[in-house]
Amino acid sequence: MASNTIDTVANDDAIDEAEAVADDTRPQMRAAPTRRSFLGHALLASASSALIQASGFLGAKGWLGDARAAAADATVDTFNGLLAFVVPGSDAYSTAQGVSTPGLGGVSVGATNVLIATVDESTPFIPSFSAQVAAILNGLALVVNPAASGWFLTPFANLSFAAKVGVFQIMDGTAALQPLAGILPPFVAFFAYSEAGAFDPVTRTLSGPPLGWSLSQYQGVSDGRAEFLGYFRGDDGR
């Protein structure tokens, strides 16, 4: 009797184990990746790799201590200068650099803090990586213009547009910074054109039209477009 009980328990255990294995090997239903999510993940991966290589440059230049001691306001100020460089607008940073537009730009969309948080989260094993990026930009800003000063807190934000180009030329000619020079502008542009600045994380809705929609003249989500009227069956679709 005891033997039968042991056999039963053993059989039950074997069945449970088999079911567990089946669950582990059964294909999981996952949502298909979109082009947008693929681009976002690719940019994040590239940015992480570039930032890791750039951290060695910081240490060699002795700028790592400055990055760790930098105040949050200085990091925000630097990234505002970067956003104005990549997507100029009518804001003070764009005006100060000498290249601006009549409409809204990257600084005005309110995505600066989201951009900084994303840079930090892309490399969670290195605290405040955004401050290290800011330290690189500001250190090279003083190389381009040792007297860089103005209305803003940081050297990079006070540079002219042409001088900011000079910063990226130095980065592009420095092996340790080439990946960062290549990925930083499109990474910043991706955020400026995204819905990050208009997205309310609490309600998970847009608080207004995102900048990218306005710049690209995108009219928002729609069940159809007038431009495509008549393409279906060669008539007006009725």
Residue 222 lies in a domain: no
What's the confidence (pLDDT) of residue 139?
Answer: 87
Residue 203 lies in a domain: yes
What's the confidence (pLDDT) of residue 129?
Answer: 81
- Asked if 132 and 126 count as a contact pair (C-beta separation under 8 A), the reply is yes
Structure tokens at 105: 């730009």
- Asked if 198 and 206 count as a contact pair (C-beta separation under 8 A), the reply is yes
User: Distances from the Cα of 151 to the Cαs of 95, 143, 154, in angstroms?
Assistant: 11, 19, 9
d(CA 195, CA 111): 9
Nearest-CA neighbor of 194 among 212, 173, 170, 174? Answer: 212
Residue 226 lies in a domain: no
What's the confidence (pLDDT) of residue 86?
Answer: 95
- Asked if 132 and 67 count as a contact pair (C-beta separation under 8 A), the reply is yes
What's the confidence (pLDDT) of residue 238?
Answer: 54
What's the confidence (pLDDT) of residue 51?
Answer: 60
Q: How many domains does the chain have?
A: 1
d(CA 72, CA 128): 10
d(CA 231, CA 131): 52
Residue 81 lies in a domain: yes
Residue 15 lies in a domain: no
Residue 30 lies in a domain: no
What's the confidence (pLDDT) of residue 48?
Answer: 58
Residue 236 lies in a domain: no
With a CB cutoff of 8 Å and minimum separation 6, the contacts of 78 are 133, 134, 137, 138, 154, 156, 157
Amino acid at 199: F
- Asked if 158 and 151 count as a contact pair (C-beta separation under 8 A), the reply is yes
pTM more than 0.75: no
Residue 90 lies in a domain: yes
Structure tokens at 5: 């009980």
What's the confidence (pLDDT) of residue 231?
Answer: 60
d(CA 168, CA 138): 12
- Asked if 105 and 90 count as a contact pair (C-beta separation under 8 A), the reply is yes
Residue numbers of the domain that contains 104: 37-214
| Tens-level pLDDT at each residue, the chain (238 residues) | 444 443 443 444 444 444 444 444 444 445 555 554 544 455 555 555 556 555 555 555 555 555 555 567 889 999 999 999 999 999 999 999 999 999 888 898 888 888 888 888 877 766 778 888 898 899 899 889 998 888 898 999 999 999 999 999 998 988 888 888 888 898 898 888 888 777 777 888 777 777 788 888 777 777 766 766 666 555 555 5
